Amino acid sequence: MRFSEDEVRRMYADKTVSCVGMCQSPMLMIEEGMGVLEKGQVLQVTADRPDLVESVRSWAAENGHNIEEEHLASGVTTFIVRKGTVPAAKAT
């Protein structure tokens, strides 16, 4: 089977951030991870705390990032987030 260039790009993250276990300041780590990427690149985030999972969803929407995939396995949620591909949510 042959994959298109777009399909191959979607299979791999350009950067990963693990917030599983004893992660200190997880949102700071996620923001720093995304900060080094260019628009359109992909950040993979893993988290094992439900409150952090909700924070990642809100953060992505507020900052114009697109969560392309979200998977839960063995209590760990994995996000595939593409940088800056949707309009940022406006604060009310």
CB 48 within 8 A of CB 20: yes
Structural domains in the chain plus CATH codes: 5-82 (3.30.110.40)
CA distance 70 to 16: 14
Which run of H or of E encompasses 71? strand 66-73
The per-residue pLDDT for 23 is 73
CA distance 42 to 9: 9
Confidence tier at 89 by pLDDT (50, 70, 90): low
Q: What mean pLDDT do residues 24-52 have?
A: 95
The per-residue pLDDT for 53 is 95
Residue 75 falls in which region: left (phi positive, over 0), alpha (psi -120 to 50) or beta: left
pLDDT above 80: residue 84? yes
